[in-house]
């Protein structure tokens, strides 16, 4: 089976983790701050907070932005459920904005129209989570301008997008958002096994997220409500969690980070090779923004329904039968049973649902060979019954 994604572990990665195992610190040592500083410097952010997953990073990001009961969080339906669930963790209501038909990201025009309606109804969102699907950045300048006008805060869910660029800046620079989140799950662009990070240029948000990831407990006298009783003293000043990253994970992240640009270049080369190989097939290949570099976490094609005889499901199953580990990113979140409880139904977000009926993620990862890629193209040609 050719998997849809695959991590790449080098001897350098293994040595780095072993060194930590033999050291004095397995957690709360020097590697986590080193990893945070390296990522912050790489993408041009002031603060970076490593945590045990992107899901945790999204949670503390929402809390730091003050999201709570009675508030709304808006995001795209075409994302992993975590982009929406973070709102629910805080007791907020979640709503969705339909996707752009070219990028499959949250559509700024649909967002503007929905905001105007929400304003008259008095239910504007407090937070909008912009997800850079497949690594391709959202139209952040437009979303930011709407944030200024309608007063919402912006989280970039860049779980797919580390190493990519928007208008010349690395994603994570935070030019058009309050907080950016990365995931280091093994299928993503670089990995720490499990792991995530929240980046911000705002000192107060960084301080809040730092507290929230570690029980709301501080040893910093400047943050305490009254003077320390002694050298042992710590103070819980808020309700936080244990979302810390381990030293092993941070060491792995540091050596992975050194290969980030290579990975993104390799992924882009493979994507362009797919573009060329699929040009004659009845599929839509991924359109790319001219002002961006995508991290190319995923390569998603859409079937041209009017030119393909077998159904979407048949094409997908035939690919799997031929040993091609295709996947589908994603089932529209509003159609999940959990979210249907909030009165969402099929038909609410037509562009997202049309995408879901046609999309297939083809295998792509940095160590994929051209021979493997050719095998995918052959299998797809068979599955589509192209004659
Ligand atoms: C993977 C992913 C997440 C969650 O990442 P974890 O590190 O596994 O918690 C969130 N959002 C998107 C878009 C993702 O792809």
Q: In terms of domains, do 31 and 156 share one?
A: yes
pLDDT digits (tens, 9 = 90+) for 296-348: 999 999 999 999 999 999 999 999 999 999 999 999 999 999 999 999 989 99
Which pLDDT band, with edges at 50, 70 and 90, does 386 fall under? confident
311 alpha carbon to ligand 1 midpoint, in Å? 29
Q: In angstroms, rounded to a whole number, what is the distance separating the alpha carbons of residues 368 and 319?
A: 17
DSSP tag of 205: H
Looking at the 3D structure of the chain, how many domains does it have?
2
| Cα 323 to averaged position of ligand 1 atoms, centre (Å) | 26
Beta bridge partners of 170: 165
- CATH code (residue 91): 3.40.640.10
Please report where in the chains the tokens 């009675």 appear, as a residue.
Answer: 70
Last residue in a domain, options 229, 257, 285:
257
Nearest atom of ligand 1 to the alpha carbon of 183: 7
**Strand pairing class (179-183; 169-170):** unpaired
Residues 226 and 279 in one domain: no
Are 278 and 203 part of one and the same domain?
A: no
Tell me what the mean pLDDT of segment 113-119 comes to.
Answer: 98
**Alpha-carbon separation of residue 125 from 97, 177, 182 (angstroms):** 11, 15, 23
- The answer, yes or no, to whether residue 387 has pLDDT greater than 70, is no
Residue 47, both tokens: 């603060």
pLDDT band at 379 (very low <50, low <70, confident <90, very high): very high
Ligand 1 centroid–CA 54 distance in Å is 5
In this structure, are 275 and 219 located in the same domain?
no
**Domain termination site, one of 205, 225, 257:** 257
70: domain range?
A: 11-257
Between residues 336 and 386, which one has the greater pLDDT?
Answer: 336
Same domain, 218 and 84: yes
pLDDT of residue 317: 98
pLDDT digits (tens, 9 = 90+) for 41-71: 999 999 999 999 999 999 999 999 999 999 9
Main-chain dihedrals φ then ψ at residue 180, nearest 5 degrees = -115, 140
Which of 57, 77, 185 has most ligand 1 atoms within 8 Å of its beta carbon, as the pocket-test mutant? 185
For residues 241 and 129, state if they share a domain: yes
Q: What is the share, in percent, of the chain residues with pLDDT greater than 70?
A: 100
Residue 150: burial class (beta carbons within 10 Å; 0-12, 13-18, 19+): middle
Averaged pLDDT for residues 1-5: 96
Which among 257, 273, 289 is the end of a domain? 257
Helices (H), the chain: 11-21, 31-43, 54-64, 82-89, 108-121, 140-150, 203-212, 247-257, 260-277, 312-321, 337-340, 350-356, 370-383
Residues 55 and 159 in one domain: yes
Active site residue 114: no
111 belongs to a structural domain: yes
CA angle 296, 302, 306 (to 5 degrees): 165
CA of 228 to the centre of ligand 1 (A): 39
Answer whether 70's CB lies under 8 Å from 262's CB: no
Give the pLDDT of residue 376: 98
143 within domain boundaries: yes
CATH assignment at residue 287: 3.90.1150.10
Structure tokens at 109: 């025009």
Kindly state the tokens that stand for 167: 């208008």
**Within this chain, do residues 57 and 190 fall inside the same structural domain, yes or no?**
yes
User: What distances in angstroms separate CA 207 from CA 9, 29, 185, 204, 231, one per listed residue?
Assistant: 33, 19, 25, 5, 22
164 with 228, same domain? yes
Q: What is the pLDDT of residues 188-235, one digit of tens each?
A: 999 999 999 999 999 999 999 999 999 999 999 999 999 999 999 999
Residue 2 lies in a domain: no
Sign of CA dihedral 351, 356, 358, 361: positive
Same domain for 166 and 223 = yes
Residues 6+ apart with CB under 8 A from 9: none
The sign of the torsion formed by the CA atoms of 201, 202, 207, 209 equals negative
Rg of the chain over CA atoms, in angstroms? 22
Q: Which two tokens stand for residue 214?
A: 């570690």
> Is residue 135 a contact partner of residue 297, using CB atoms and an 8 Å limit?
yes
- Burial status of residue 280 (CB atoms within 10 A of its CB: 0-12, 13-18, 19 or more): exposed
Q: Are residues 211 and 271 in the same domain?
A: no
Same domain for 168 and 287?
Answer: no
Query: What residue ranges line ligand 1, CB within 6 angstroms?
Result: 53-55, 79-80, 82-83, 131, 157, 159-160, 183, 185, 196
* Position 179 in a domain: yes
């Amino acid at each position: 089976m050719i998997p849809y994604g695959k991590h790449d572990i080098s001897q350098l990665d293994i040595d780095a983790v072993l060194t930590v195992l033999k050291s004095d610190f397995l957690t709360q040592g020097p590697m986590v701050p080193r990893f945070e500083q390296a990522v912050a410097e790489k993408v041009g952010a002031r603060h970076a907070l490593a945590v045990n997953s992107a899901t945790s990073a999204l949670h503390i990001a929402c809390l730091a932005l003050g999201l709570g009961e009675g508030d709304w969080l808006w995001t795209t339906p075409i994302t992993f459920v975590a982009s929406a669930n973070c709102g629910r963790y805080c007791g907020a209501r979640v709503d969705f904005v339909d996707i752009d038909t070219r990028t499959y990201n949250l559509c700024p025009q649909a967002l503007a129209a929905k905001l105007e309606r929400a304003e008259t109804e008095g239910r504007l969102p407090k937070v909008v989570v912009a997800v850079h699907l497949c690594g391709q950045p959202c139209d952040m300048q437009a979303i930011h301008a709407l944030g200024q006008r309608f007063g919402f805060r912006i989280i970039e869910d860049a779980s797919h997008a580390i190493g990519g660029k928007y208008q010349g800046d690395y994603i994570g620079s935070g030019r058009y958002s309050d907080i950016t989140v990365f995931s280091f799950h093994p299928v993503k662009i670089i990995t720490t096994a499990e792991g995530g990070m929240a980046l911000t240029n705002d000192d107060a948000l960084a301080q809040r997220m730092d507290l929230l990831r570690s029980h709301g407990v501080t040893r910093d006298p400047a943050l305490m409500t009254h003077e320390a009783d002694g050298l042992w003293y710590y103070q819980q000043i808020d309700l936080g969690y244990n979302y810390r990253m381990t030293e092993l994970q941070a060491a792995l992240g540091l050596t992975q980070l050194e290969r980030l640009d290579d990975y993104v270049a390799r992924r882009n080369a493979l994507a362009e090779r797919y573009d060329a190989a699929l040009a004659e097939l009845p599929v839509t290949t991924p359109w790319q923004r001219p002002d961006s570099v995508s991290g190319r976490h995923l390569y998603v094609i859409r079937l041209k329904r009017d030119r393909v005889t077998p159904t979407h499901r048949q094409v997908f199953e035939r690919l799997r039968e031929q040993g091609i580990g295709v996947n589908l990113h994603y089932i529209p979140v509003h159609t999940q049973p959990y979210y249907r409880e909030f009165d969402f139904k099929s038909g609410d977000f037509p562009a997202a649902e049309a995408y879901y009926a046609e999309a297939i993620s083809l295998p792509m990862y940095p160590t994929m060979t051209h021979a493997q890629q050719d095998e995918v193209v052959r299998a797809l040609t068979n599955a589509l019954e192209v004659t």
